[in-house]
């Protein structure tokens, strides 16, 4: 549309439309050409059961008849969060490649270049299934992108790529960011207690030290497809001291099992904890949940430590399990 062209009897309106079209097509989340876009802008690490993936430059190897795989995972992610991707192979595979598909940039072919770099994860031994854990940067330029995965056999022969379309829910970040991701249509809740003793969760979303829960998913089994929660302290506000992270299985909403991953980013250093829930859930509130981690923050404004009251806790939040009601005449 933007090629030079001869326009007979061009009207001012036509010229204005063409100019607008050219400006629109030139808009891009990336300031430079696609050659400078790298996988680090979408995924900052890839690992499998503790085996860290190697960050490689250039394009990943092309499929050459190796193992065929299928992939599964939560198609919803948050910036600064994690995603666990299940990889199943028809035959054993010894390594997994992770890259960002060309469709992310609007290219026709998924595996065509466009975004440089990839991850290569070398498994300890050939296997037919693996869980790939990805981490995402606190700033992701696009809201939709394609994760591509391929597996290679022990001889290094690569199989066809499998795609996992991914949508980003933008959340807050800061000196501290704790995210929770899970893989089923159940209601899981993230709770974080700051050094001041205040507990942040769905029933009390902010604390006096600046902490905030800004994403709550599947509340009372109102399934929203997000399956992520996020609690942050802004830059310069997170107080020094001990933080406690808990995860509560509020309701299984009818599923048999829920796998979850918690990522803690404490000023750039952090940890990831994975686990699962089975059973019904406890419809828990203040003080509920499974302890998954504690961590220390060395710097930050001093907090006024407030002992947790045991006599009169704050009132429980209004979170009512949705039930089907039958209308009687």
Q: Which residues bind Ca ion (CB under 5 A)?
A: 187, 189
What residue number has its CB nearest to Ca ion?
189
Q: Which lies closer to Ca ion via its Cβ, residue 116 or residue 288?
A: 288
Residue 182's contacts (CB-CB under 8 Å, 6 or more residues apart) are 74, 188, 227, 228, 258, 259, 260, 261
Q: Which lies closer to Ca ion via its Cβ, residue 110 or residue 216?
A: 216
From the CB of 52, what's the least distance to Ca ion, in Å? 30
Token representation of residue 234: 């802004």
Q: Which lies closer to Ca ion via its Cβ, residue 154 or residue 320?
A: 320
Token representation of residue 113: 């270049």
Q: Which lies closer to Ca ion via its Cβ, residue 183 or residue 187?
A: 187
Distance CA 54, CA 39 (A): 12
Q: Which lies closer to Ca ion via its Cβ, residue 187 or residue 198?
A: 187
Cβ proximity of 140 and 224 under 8 Å: no
Distance CA 202, CA 228 (A): 13
Backbone angles phi, psi at 301, to 5 degrees: -60, 145
From the CB of 207, what's the least distance to Ca ion, in Å? 18
Report the Cα 232 to chain-centroid distance in Å.
15
From the CB of 74, what's the least distance to Ca ion, in Å? 14
From the CB of 170, what's the least distance to Ca ion, in Å? 18
Q: Which lies closer to Ca ion via its Cβ, residue 237 or residue 321?
A: 321
Residue with tokens 């929203």: 224
Distance CA 72, CA 188 (A): 20
Residue 284's contacts (CB-CB under 8 Å, 6 or more residues apart) are 189, 248, 249, 250
From the CB of 219, what's the least distance to Ca ion, in Å? 5
């Amino acid at each position: 549309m933007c090629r030079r062209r001869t326009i007979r009897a061009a009207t001012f309106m036509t010229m204005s439309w063409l100019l607008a079209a050219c400006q629109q097509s030139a808009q891009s989340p990336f300031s430079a050409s696609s050659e400078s876009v790298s996988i680090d802008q979408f995924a900052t690490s890839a690992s499998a059961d503790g085996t860290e993936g190697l960050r490689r430059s250039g394009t990943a190897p092309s499929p050459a008849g190796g193992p065929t795989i299928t992939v599964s995972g939560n198609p919803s992610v948050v910036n600064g969060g994690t995603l666990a991707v299940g990889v199943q192979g028809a035959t054993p595979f010894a390594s997994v490649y992770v890259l960002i598909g060309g469709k992310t940039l609007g290219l026709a072919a998924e595996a065509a270049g466009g975004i440089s770099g990839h991850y290569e994860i070398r498994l300890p031994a050939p296997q037919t299934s693996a869980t790939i854990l990805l981490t995402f940067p606190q700033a992701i330029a696009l809201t939709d992108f394609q994760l591509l995965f391929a597996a290679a056999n022990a001889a290094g022969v690569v199989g066809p790529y499998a795609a996992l379309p991914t949508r980003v829910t933008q959340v807050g970040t800061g000196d501290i960011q704790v995210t929770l991701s899970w893989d089923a249509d159940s209601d899981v809740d993230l709770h974080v207690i700051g050094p001041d003793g205040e507990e942040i969760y769905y029933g009390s979303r902010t604390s006096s030290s600046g902490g905030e829960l800004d994403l709550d998913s599947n509340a009372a089994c109102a399934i929203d497809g997000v399956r992520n929660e996020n609690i942050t302290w802004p830059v310069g506000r997170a107080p020094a001291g001990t933080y406690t992270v808990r995860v509560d299985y509020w309701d299984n909403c009818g599923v048999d099992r829920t796998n979850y991953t918690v990522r803690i980013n404490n000023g750039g250093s952090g940890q990831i904890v994975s686990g699962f829930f089975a059973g019904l859930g406890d419809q828990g509130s203040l003080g509920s949940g499974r302890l998954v981690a504690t961590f220390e923050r060395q710097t930050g404004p001093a907090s006024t430590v407030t002992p947790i009251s045991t006599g009169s806790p704050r009132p429980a939040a209004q979170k009512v399990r949705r039930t089907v009601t039958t209308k009687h005449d």
